[in-house]
Amino acid sequence: MLAVRLDQKTETRLDQLAKETHRTKSYFVKRAITSFLDEMEDKLIAVARLEQENPTFLTSDELWRDLGWDKPAEKSKKQSK
């Protein structure tokens, strides 16, 4: 169990969202925390990889090939007048 204190503006926004969507405030708080944790964990993984002694980098062509995807056609550059 976790108790969180919110400023009045955030509490009001959360109340309004919950009422308009017929969801609980807890539903939105759980989703927000989960989303934040996912982002932070991804960031930590990326930073750790960059800090490796010999990090591996791929060109975009190598990435598309390794994923087995077709590389999208490049957009033509607009010619200047």
Q: Which domain holds residue 26?
A: 8-67
Residue 40 lies in a domain: yes
Whether 57 is covered by a domain: the verdict is yes
pLDDT given for residue 78 in this prediction: 64
Which of 14, 32, 33 is closest to 24 using CA atoms? Answer: 14
Contact 74/67 with Cβ under 8 angstroms?
A: no
36 domain residue, yes or no:
yes
pLDDT in tens, 14-60: 999 999 999 999 999 999 999 999 999 999 998 998 888 887 788 99
pLDDT for 79: 58
Average pLDDT over residues 59-73: 89
Residue 29 belongs to some domain of the structure: yes
How many domains are contained in the chain?
1
